[in-house]
Amino acid sequence: MKSLCFGLALGCASCGDESSSRDTEGPTTTATATESSGPGTATTATTATTATTSESATQTSAADSGSTQDTSVDTTSDTTTAAVPDAVALYVSSGTTVYAFDVDLDTGALTLLDALEVGTNVGAMTHDRARGRLLVAQTSAESIASYAVAADGTLTSVAAVPIGMNPVYASLSESGPHLLAADYGAGAVGSFAFDASGAVLPAPITMLDVGLEPHSIVLAPDRRFCFVPHRGGDEIRAFTFDASTGALAPHLPPEGQIPPNTGPRHLVFAADARVAWVVNEINSSVTTWSYDAASGQLSAPQTISTLPEGVDGSDNTGADVHVTPDGRFVYTSNRGHDTLAMFAVQPDGSLVAMGHVATEPHVRDFGIEPTGQFLYAAGRDSGQLASYAIGGDGQLTAITTVAVPPAPGWVEAIALAR
Q: Does the domain made of 2-415 have the CATH classification 3.30.70.100?
A: no
CA 295 → CA 121, 270, 287, 333, distances in Å?
39, 17, 20, 31
235, 260 Cβ separation under 8 angstroms? no
Give pLDDT tens digits for 257-272: 899 999 999 999 999 9
Q: Residue 81: CB partners within 8 Å, gap ≥ 6?
A: none
CB 324 within 8 A of CB 344: no
Pick the more confident residue, 293 or 12: 293
E strand intervals along 231-362: 235-242, 248-250, 264-269, 275-280, 285-292, 297-305, 317-323, 329-335, 339-345, 351-358
Q: What is the pLDDT of residues 229-258, one digit of tens each?
A: 999 889 999 999 999 999 999 997 776 689
Nearest to 85 by CA among 368, 366, 369, 326: 369
Q: Which residue has the higher pLDDT, 31 or 83?
A: 83
pLDDT over 70 at 210, yes or no: yes
Question: What's the pLDDT at 255?
Answer: 65
The per-residue pLDDT of the chain, averaged, comes to: 85
Q: How far is C-alpha 57 from the chain's CA centre? A: 21
Report whether 31 contacts 273 (CB < 8 A).
no
**Do 262 and 254 touch, CB atoms closer than 8 A?**
no
| Chain segment 46-103, per-residue pLDDT in tens | 333 333 333 333 333 333 333 334 434 555 444 344 578 899 999 999 999 999 999 9
The edge-to-edge listing of strands for the beta sheet with 396-403 is 42-44, 396-403, 384-390, 374-379, 363-368
CB-count exposure of residue 274 (10 Å: 0-12, 13-18, 19+): middle
Q: Quick check: 161 and 199 in contact, CB under 8 A?
A: yes
Q: Evaluate if residue 41 carries a pLDDT over 60.
A: yes
- Sheet containing 169-173: order of strands: 169-173, 178-183, 188-192, 206-209
pLDDT band of 401, cuts 50, 70, 90: very high
Q: Quick check: helix, strand or coil at residue 348? A: coil
Query: In whole angstroms, what is the distance from residue 329 CA to residue 338 CA?
Result: 19
How far apart (Å, rounded) are the C-alpha atoms in residues 185 and 123?
14
Question: Distance between CA atoms of 280 and 292, rounded to whole angstroms?
Answer: 21
Size of the chain in residues:
418
